[in-house]
Amino acid sequence: MALIKHGKLVDDIWHETDDFADVTTLGPVIVDLDTWRRHGAEILALGGRLGLRLKPGQTPDLIAADLHHFDLIALEFAKFTDGRAYSQARLLRERHGFTGELRASGDVLRDQLSFMLRCGFDSFSVATDHQAMAILEAVNEFAHWYQPALDRAATIPNLRRRARAASNDAASGCAATWAY
C-alpha cells in the first residue's frame, strides 16, 4: 500500500485491524466501527493514537459524539461508482467539525482526486506505487472551480467579479484623474 498525504508520498504509520487483540501491539491503529463499539472503553484505556474506518453505509452520525477520540477517519470507496464516502467526508468536516486526518481508501482513482480534496480528504491510501504516482500528478491539476467547497478556494465567478471590480476601480480612478 502507498499513502499520499498533503500531496506527498509518505510512510504510513497506521495499522488497520478488526481484531481487538492486535490493538495492544500495533501502535497507531485504525479499527472498524464494530470493534470500536464493542471495545471502545478498553481501547481508550490503552492510550495511543486511534483511527476509525467507516464503511460506505455507516453514517458519521453514528460516531459524532466520539469524534474527539480519533486522530484519523478512513472512509472506504468500495468501488469507484459508489460516492457515499464523499457525503461522509462532507458531513464529518461541515456538520461534525472533524479536523483530524481524513483518509480515502479502497478504489481511489486519479480522476476523482480533485473532488475528494474538495470534500475534505487529505490523505489517500492506494494499492500500488503506479496509482500513487498518478495521483501525485493530479494533486494540482485544477486551480479554479465553479462551485464552492470545503477548501474555501475562490470560485471562478468570484474571481471574475473581483477582476471586474478591479477593472471598474481602475477605470473610475482614471476618469477621476482626467476630470481634474
Condensed to tens digits (0 to 9), the pLDDT of residues 1-46 reads 888 888 888 899 999 888 787 777 778 999 999 999 999 999 999 8
Q: For residue 58, what pLDDT is reported?
A: 95
Contact 74, 88 (CB under 8 A): no
pLDDT tens for each residue of 125-169: 988 777 777 777 776 666 666 566 666 677 777 777 887 888 787
pTM of the model as a whole = 0.76
pLDDT value of residue 179:
47
* More confidently predicted of 172 and 69: 69
52 within 8 A of 73, measured Cβ to Cβ: yes
Q: What pLDDT does residue 94 have?
A: 92
CA distances from 52 to 6, 16, 60, 81 (A): 19, 9, 11, 23
- CATH architecture label of 2-142: Alpha-Beta Barrel (3.20)
- 8 A C-beta contact, residue 29 and residue 48: yes
- Write out the three cell numbers for 21: 487483540
Write down the pLDDT at residue 17.
Answer: 84
pLDDT at 180: 42
CB count within 10 Å of CB 84 equals 17
Beta-sheet strands, E only, within 86-175:
101-106, 123-126
pLDDT grade for 108, boundaries at 50, 70 and 90: confident
Length of the chain (residues): 180
Q: Domain segments of the chain: what residues? A: 2-142, 143-180
pLDDT tens digits, residue range 46-85?
888 999 999 999 999 999 999 999 999 999 998 878 889 9
- Position with higher pLDDT, 30 vs 110: 30
pLDDT for the residue numbered 24: 72
